[in-house]
Amino acid sequence: MATKNQTFTAIKGKNCEGPDLKNNKTLRLISSSYLPEASLESSNINNISIKNSDLTKANFKKANIKDASIVHSNLEKTKMTFANLSCNQFIKSNFKNSNLQFASLKSTRIVDSNLKGADLRWANLDGATFVNCNLNDANFSGCDLSNVFFRNCELKGAKYNINTVLPFTPEIANKLGMQNVGIH
Query: Across 23-144, where does the E strand assignment appear?
Result: 29-31, 49-51, 69-71, 89-91, 109-111, 129-131
Q: Whole-prediction pTM value?
A: 0.93
Convert the pLDDT of each residue in 83-104 to its tens digit.
Answer: 999 999 999 999 999 999 999 9
Please state which CATH number belongs to domain 80-184. 2.160.20.80
Query: How far is C-alpha 10 from the geometric centre of its chain's CA atoms?
Result: 21
Convert the pLDDT of each residue in 9-43 to its tens digit.
Answer: 999 999 999 999 999 999 999 999 999 999 999 99
Q: Where are the domains of the chain?
A: 80-184
Give the whole-angstrom CA distance, residue 149 versus residue 126. 9
